[in-house]
Structure 1
Amino acid sequence: MVGRIVVLIIVLAVQVPLYVLSVGPARRLRLAQQFFFCRQVLRLTGLSVRVLGQPSTEGPVLYASNHVSYLDIPVLNALLDASFISKAEVKGWPLIGFIGRLTGTVFIRRHAAGAKRQRDEIADRLAQGDSLILFPEGTSTNGAGVAPFRSSLFGVIDQAEASAHLLIQPVSITYTRCADGTPLEGPARALYAWFDDAVLLPHFKRVLGMRGAEVVVTFHEPLRAADHSDRKHVTQLVRNAVIAGVAAAQAEAGLRDGLAASAGLSAALPAASAAERR
């Protein structure tokens, strides 16, 4: 574990300055820097990513995924040329907030007063051709199932200019087994899932001390936003696809405790109020 921490510090010391340059004079290197850094993080954490389906590159794309861990970020950013939509609190986090600002993260506040402004900011980014990654659950869960999606986060489809060529692609993330074959079910889910009152640094330190795990990322058939006018209906279509992907990956891995939740029983999830801080 100590060796991994040392290597991670070295990678950060080298990659962060390079990424700063890549959003300025060396912009053409930005995507290569992003992919390289995220894949180094995956290697240091021992995460093996298995991809099912194909990410859409027709663009702009709003990728909508379930959210299990902060590890979802390097998992997805190692695969996609896209920026994240994140809660505003993350902007002030040490290092993570700085990297988020560098990578063009859209920070949003969860209150009605700023909903229109935030929707407009997301719409502007999409209208400029940028692709974005959204976690519509609004918080991370234990991965057993998929929490209800917030339809307000899909309000961008109400913006005609932004939605004219927009694709919405559902994405399922499932942490299935540790490298030693241990199924990530029951209490073992907490080894990689980050939810409830888990503290970031101790959790990440434990992750670095383990051999790793398999993560299945499923890209589903994208929806064309212009074909849909009801954002609540779109929200349910996207969530249904994500649920199906999680359930399929769990069934393939022989996980038993998550199948009922993934079939749509939201009550099986941990209390959202405790995790809402994230």
Structure 2
Amino acid sequence: MYTWFHTSSHVFFVMEYCSNGDLFTYLNEHGPFCEKKVAEMLFEIIWAIRTCHDKRIAHLDLKPENVLVNHEEKCKLADFGLSAHIGSKHKKKGISHYRGTHDYWSPEQCARHQKKKQNFGEFDQKTDIWTLGILAFELKFGRPPFGSTNEERENVIMNRIQDYHWSQLFCEKVKQDLIDKLSPEFKDFLNLCLDKNPKKRPTAESLIQHPFIFIHNKNRSCIKSYATQPRGKQGPKLSHKGFNEQDGSFLTPIWFHNK
């Protein structure tokens, strides 16, 4: 977001225009992608997730529909409607069950949901790490590892997420060959992100340095500044400059002056 202003009746956000739309559409039109392209896209998404985690915010709804692609094919993380502070209880109502949402839930989310708890319980950043693994798989193969069709029942997907390894559902010989051809670095990346135990999943900070990500991004002129850029201290106190300030004079959109 570049800036914001408001009138007496509306709030306006001035945001970057992403001419390639969302990653779901981009993947359908141009994918699946080679490992190099996957790693380049993941680098940008992981960087955004790391920034969120530094501010103790979990995104909680990472999927292709919530990543935008600009004219330079750079990925931008979007849609923080389900995000929550790390360590707090996520109590938002009306969670969407549209295509893709439950495909990306972590095992701990599925277990909690199937026990019919009122909310998803306490979350930390490891939930986002799981969905990074799901997203990485989908960028390579064109579909999430545990999901299949829109007609499948939610519980079928959730049971797969909790009981199967990410590679097990590729049971046909041709598809298994695709798994076998993955680089050791990519397999290790997926194994780390898609560990059923959230405590064993890596941080976004460490994923930036993972060999799969680094090998395919080491020629970026910004790689060193990305890895060493100073960041704010982690903590519960967040600053939302502008939104907590007292109301000032209303601003008028420029096109109003021409009427």
Question: Normalization by structure 2: what TM-score?
Answer: 0.27
Higher strand share: 1
Of structures 1 and 2, the larger Rg is shown by: 2
Question: Normalization by structure 1: what TM-score?
Answer: 0.25
